[in-house]
């Protein structure tokens, strides 16, 4: 069963890149879809949509390279918040 997080991230990206189907493991930076402004929008989306705080240590491009990477970041952050 596909995670709700992954579905939500995919839907967010589809709003910006509606004419392109992005695979879950595709590097959106390498594909040329992301500039610095969109990268910040992506961080803000993750914080707001998943009610989590992206810390300085989380601001690693590898955490935002793909749908899978973003999903893993959110899962890590939300499981840490639940345990705290």
CA max distance for the chain:
41
Percent of the chain with pLDDT over 90: 74
Tokens representing residue 44 in the block: 């803000």
| pLDDT per position as a tens digit, 13-24 | 999 888 888 999
The total domain count for the chain is: 1
Cα separation, 71 vs 73, whole angstroms: 5
Contact 33, 69 (CB under 8 A): no
Tokens (6 digits) for 47? 């914080």
Model-wide pTM > 0.85: yes
Tokens at 69, concatenated: 């990477």
- H/E segment holding residue 72: helix 67-83
Indicate if the pLDDT at residue 42 is higher than 90: yes
Q: Which CATH number covers residue 11?
A: 1.10.1200.10
């Amino acid at each position: 069963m596909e995670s709700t997080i992954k579905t939500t991230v995919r839907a967010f990206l589809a709003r910006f890149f509606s004419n392109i189907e992005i695979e879950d493991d595709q590097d959106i930076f390498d594909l040329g879809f992301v500039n610095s402004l969109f990268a910040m929008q992506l961080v803000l989306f993750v914080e707001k949509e998943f009610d989590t705080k992206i810390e300085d240590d989380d601001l690693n491009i590898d955490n935002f390279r793909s749908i899978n990477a973003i999903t893993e970041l959110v899962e890590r952050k939300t499981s840490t918040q639940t345990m705290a």
